[in-house]
Structure 1
Amino acid sequence: MPQMSPLNWMSLYILFIFVFLIFNIINYFLFLYSPNQNKNFKKKILFNWKW
């Protein structure tokens, strides 16, 4: 039935938007990395033997 065509396009459009949003939300929260901060790192003392 051609009368139902706009409804099908609208539902398809809403479905793709929903899938896009879910994909972005999962991608954002799945790969949210916290930076590793090592506060107890030791500096290497390098002596320049040429001078």
Structure 2
Amino acid sequence: MPQMAPIGWLSLFIIFSIIFILFSMMNYYSMMPQTPMSQASKKHSTSPLNWKW
């Protein structure tokens, strides 16, 4: 069984690398971030911190 030529390994590496990069970019950019709510509509529960040492 003949060995695969080095140029064949190089082309496979380049093709799989491009596919991996495209797949990663599609996963990263496909998710829409949630829009942050305005500060007026958020209710912050601020309670004073009483430290008892």
Do they superpose with TM above 0.5? yes
Gap regions ≥5 residues in structure 1 = 44-51
After superposition, the C-alpha distances for 1:1-51 in whole angstroms (9 at most, x for unaligned) are: x6x61000000000010000000100000013224426564x7xxxxxxxx
| Structure 1 moving runs of 4+ over 4 Å | 38-41
Greater per-residue helix proportion: 1
Point out the structure with max Rg over C-alpha: 1
Give unpaired runs (5+ residues) of structure 2: 44-53
Identity %, equivalent residues: 32
TM-score computed with the length of structure 1 as normaliser: 0.59
Normalised to the residue count of structure 2, the TM-score between the two structures is 0.57
